Chain A
Amino acid sequence: MNRPLVALCALAALAALPLAAPAVEPAHHHEHAAPAAGPLPGGSLYQLGATLDGSGGPLPLASLRGAPVVVTMFYSSCTTVCPMLTLAMQRTALALSEPERAQVRFLMVSLDAARDTPARLVEFAQSHHLAAPAFVVAHASAEDVRTIAAALGIRYRQLPDGSFSHSSVITLLDRDGVAVARTQALSAEDPAFVERVRAQLK
């Protein structure tokens, strides 16, 4: 199976050629948190008018503005990569001191809008010790799932059996919702990512 895979990756590179190179946003690197006031930056995730539904009921995504947010997407019936994703979120939280942790939100949005009801996610959060207010384990509508995933660059596809194949990415948003760091390291600690989280608190 290796050969077609390599061929396809090469194809991907080739196929991109006829296009003008997409303009990439300059990365925002202000490590010092901006106060959560004033106009929303153009690159903020909160430009999406999405609504979350977590343990505390419906919650506008933009209401998370003001705290640095560590965000990922998963689904609760996933038995392969999601448990590691959940662990990686917990590990990131535990790498912070308690006062630090209290200033950060850890957001897990389910990709499975149909089956991961808010009630089911509350149960999931309890059984995995993902305690509010630090952890927000949330349902979103299929439409909001699609736009949040798109904005975070998370690739996913629902498979015929109802499960999801998805990329496992954890993104750090600054206090205004602008993505400032990403990690795909799930099986081990990512100290550099934790430092980026900490830097948002200064």
Chain B
Amino acid sequence: MQRPAHVLPGLAAAALLAAAAAAAGAAPASLPGGEFTPVVAPGPDQKTVRLAPFALDVTPVTNGDYLAFVTLHPEWRRGSVPSLKADSQYLAHWQGPLTPGEGARAEQPVTHVSWFAARAYCAAHAGRLPTWYEWEYAAAADETRGDARADPAFRERILAWYAVPSGRPLPAVGQGPANVYGLRDLHGLVWEWVEDFGGLMVSGDSRNQGDPDKLQFCGAGALAAESREDYPVLMRMALLSSLEASYTTANLGFRCAYGDPP
């Protein structure tokens, strides 16, 4: 299938700079946006979405970053967050509310954070969570191409990570290769919250299904997937759709986006 190329000539150079900055723990990467074909069509008669330019953190937010956040924002310390906004496992792997400890090193991605918490963190940094389409678009790139999804080797590499059992300590952020935008760890480290995690499996066709009692998660998920072989993306969507906003888990982190929300 023909997909538009996203990478402008000047951008490759910009991405290299951003990658260098990321190594020093700095500026987010700029993404040009444009016309993007998500794996699941946005609507019955629409195959593409138009994304405005936006910026995205180069790596997921780390325990170190998150410690700085809760230090400044006591209401987000473990033990202070109402259960509506984070379940009982919130930051459960930290030794104490202000001491990540051995089990949560500063350079590891922060996990055990809820959607509410992730949003609050990003808002405190003049950002927001990326939308699913922004995330999918960013994650469609590999080291040299803006859209590597049609390449079976690219998908295989991602699937290989899904096959790795969880439960071992998470690696530090920034170890994965930088993609063409300079972004790292979109695949292979943790799952990441997106702003609209709850709406992903809600099909554009569900309005036309006869029995409204069936309009539930899976029942509404009659997805018009553009490429059903794209398991990595579909798995990611399925996982995100199974979450509730207060859930926290050991493999779920986030990164922030910057720019006007779509």
Judged by a CB distance under 8 angstroms, whether B88 is at the interface is yes
**Which residues of chain B have C-beta atoms less than 8 A from A192's C-beta?**
none
Is A125 positioned at the interface, with any CB of B under 8 Å from its CB?
no
**Interface residue ranges of A151-202 to B (CB < 8 Å):** 151, 153-161, 163, 165-168, 184-187
B222 to chain A, nearest CB (A): 5
Q: Is A117 an interface residue when CB atoms closer than 8 A count as contact?
A: no
Give the docked Cα–Cα distance between A157 and B231 (Å). Answer: 22
- B contact residues, range: 35 or more
A80–B214 Cα gap in the complex (Å)?
13
Which chain B positions have C-beta within 8 A of A81? 207, 212, 215
Size band of the A side of the interface?
A: 35 or more
A150 at the interface (CB under 8 A from B): yes
Write the nearest CB–CB distance from A1 to chain B, whole angstroms: 5
* Interface residue stretch chosen among A8-16, A102-110, A126-134: A8-16
A128 to chain B, nearest CB (A): 17
User: How far in angstroms is the closest Cβ of chain B from A160?
Assistant: 4
* Cβ-neighbour of A18 out of B166, B206, B246 (below 8 A): B166
- Kindly identify which residue among A15, A19, A25, A161 contacts B83, using a CB–CB cutoff of 8 Å: A25
Complex CA distance for A101 and B245, rounded to whole angstroms: 31
Q: Do the beta carbons of A187 and B211 come within 8 Å of each other? A: yes
19 new A-B contacts at CB < 8 Å, known A40-B82, A81-B212: A4-B223, A5-B222, A8-B201, A11-B235, A11-B238, A19-B166, A22-B248, A47-B85, A155-B241, A156-B202, A157-B196, A157-B199, A159-B42, A165-B199, A165-B220, A167-B217, A167-B220, A168-B215, A187-B211
Which residues on A are within 8 Å of B, measured CB to CB? 1, 4-5, 7-9, 11-12, 14-16, 18-25, 40-45, 47-48, 80-81, 84-85, 146-147, 149-151, 153-161, 163, 165-168, 184-187
30 of the cross-chain contacts (CB-CB < 8 Å) are A4-B222, A5-B222, A8-B221, A9-B218, A11-B231, A11-B238, A12-B201, A12-B217, A12-B218, A15-B242, A16-B238, A18-B166, A19-B251, A22-B89, A23-B88, A80-B207, A81-B212, A149-B198, A150-B244, A151-B84, A151-B246, A153-B198, A155-B217, A156-B198, A157-B202, A159-B43, A163-B207, A165-B199, A165-B202, A166-B202
